Amino acid sequence: MIKLTDILKEHEGEEYPSYMYSSIGFGCHVCEYHYQEEGKHKCKNKYYQKLMGTEDLINPKTKESIKDPSKYCSNWFHPKK
C-alpha cells in the first residue's frame, strides 16, 4: 500500500507540487494562482493558460466560465500561503 507521505515526498521541491494534499482543502478558491477580475474567476498559472487558451477558469468540456471556483481544481493547484 502506498502511503500519502511517500507520494508527497516524491513531489518535494517541484515547481508545481502535487495537488493531492492540502491542509486548507481543494479548489481554485484556495489556490495561489486564482484571482478575480471583472466578475470572472481567473488563473495566473502559465501552464493552465497555455492548455486552456485563456486565463479565465472554464469548464474544459463545455468551455463555459466557472461560476463556483470551490467546485473546480486544475492540475496546477498550489495552496495559498
pLDDT value of residue 20: 45
For the segment 26-65, what is each residue's pLDDT rounded down to a tens digit? 788 888 899 999 999 999 999 999 989 999 999 888 999 9
pLDDT exceeds 80 at position 66: yes
Euclidean distance between CA atoms 42 and 38, whole angstroms: 10
Q: What is the pTM of this model?
A: 0.64
Residues 6 or more apart whose CB falls under 8 angstroms from that of 67 comprise 41
Domain-wise residue ranges, the chain: 4-71
Per-residue pLDDT tens over the stretch 6-25: 655 655 655 544 444 555 56
Nearest to 27 by CA among 69, 80, 76: 69
- Residue-wise over 15-27: b if at least 16 C-beta within 10 A, else e? eebebeebeeebb
